[in-house]
Amino acid sequence: MKHWKLPLAAALAVLGLQACDVSVREEPRTTVTAPTSSLPDSTPMNGQPAATPPAVAGADSTTPPPVAATESTTTPTTSGDNTMASASAPAPAADPALAAASSPDTAAMGAQPGQSPAAVPVPDGIAAPTELSRFLEETERRANAPARSSEAKPEPARRKDKVSALPAVRNPGDPEGARLLAQRSLEIPVAGIARTALSDNYEQSRGSRRHEAIDIMAPMGTPVVAVDDGRIAKLFTSKAGGLTIYQFDPKAQLAYYYAHLQRYADNLREGQDVRRGDLIGYVGVSGNSAANAPHLHFAVFKLGTPPKWWQGEAVNPYPALAVAEPADQVAVR
């Protein structure tokens, strides 16, 4: 009996030693459960551990909902062999220089609530508050000031609509033409001639005809200017008048006739618009004028409908010229 017990005990002892050797050599193992969330590094949402999204039938993987950005950072801590997300660590203090660089332009938006206006930075190119206030005050003052550009220039205090405001003459010529001429603001058509140098010779005879014009005596070559605004209707040379100009007024109701010219102004042409005082020619003795008596023969006549430069009713120009502006300056265009 004892002989078979000894081998059995020896076998059991050997088996026991092997089991102990295996247990000593094997390291303890701890099962770590992989995170089920697909978020990288198990990033917590709003400071809480990420929850596992519900499974969707028929899908191989799950897509987590979008994660809101947080300013906190997490530091993993270990408890035994299990990794867990710790509580959110406080964000580091902001660099004042970086905060100033990334802050919005408060000067463009105005001071923020709770911020003193004096603390609002004023960038280059924007006036300081005091300068801006002065600018606004000046703008308001100018806006309230009476506008000058819209005011009509005062006309010479000489006439408005009545022939009776002009010097009385024995023969004014065509009544309607005289009324129209009285409404025009004229300039004496010869430079440097005063009103007192003019005389009414409208009714004087010139051979077998009546003059129906005014002669303005002046040295040879004295500038002749446009008596009124208007248009050059005709440049014409005749035996009686010599070198002549026919000018219409702005409404083509009146024609102004300049005769006995020495020459025209440079570049003067038919159809040209002129303004009162523009240079149009020079005093001469062309035509049937006496060679020793240079002068401008100036006449006015009322045009018909349609207007024709060679046809009209004569108007005495003296009353209107007697109150006209002297041509002290000549405009060359």
For the chain, which residues make up each domain, given as ranges?
Answer: 163-321
Question: What confidence score (pLDDT) does residue 57 get?
Answer: 46
Q: In the block, which residue shows the tokens 């040295």?
A: 219
Q: What are the pLDDT digits (tens) for 91-122?
A: 455 554 444 444 444 444 444 444 444 444 54
Q: Model's pTM, two decimal places?
A: 0.53
Residue 78 half-sphere exposure toward CB, CA atoms < 13 A: 4
3-class DSSP assignment, residue 98: helix
Q: In whole angstroms, what is the distance from residue 105 CA to residue 56 CA?
A: 48
Q: What are the pLDDT digits (tens) for 159-170?
A: 444 455 788 899
Confidence at 144, pLDDT banded by 50, 70, 90: low
CB of 223 closer than 8 Å to CB of 279:
yes
CB of 249 closer than 8 Å to CB of 226:
no
Q: What is the mean pLDDT of residues 210-230?
A: 97
Say yes or no to pLDDT of 3 above 90: no
Is 150 or 297 the better-scoring residue by pLDDT? 297
Q: In whole angstroms, what is the distance from residue 79 CA to residue 33 CA?
A: 14
Q: What are the pLDDT digits (tens) for 62-94?
A: 454 554 444 444 444 444 444 344 444 444 555
Q: Report DSSP state, residue 95.
A: P
Q: In whole angstroms, what is the distance from residue 121 CA to residue 117 CA?
A: 9
CB of 73 closer than 8 Å to CB of 88:
yes
Give phi and psi for 23, each to the nearest 5. Answer: -65, -30
Per the DSSP assignment, residues forming a β-bridge with 301 are 255, 314
Domain 163-321 has CATH 2.70.70.10: yes
Q: Which token pair is 16?
A: 């026991």
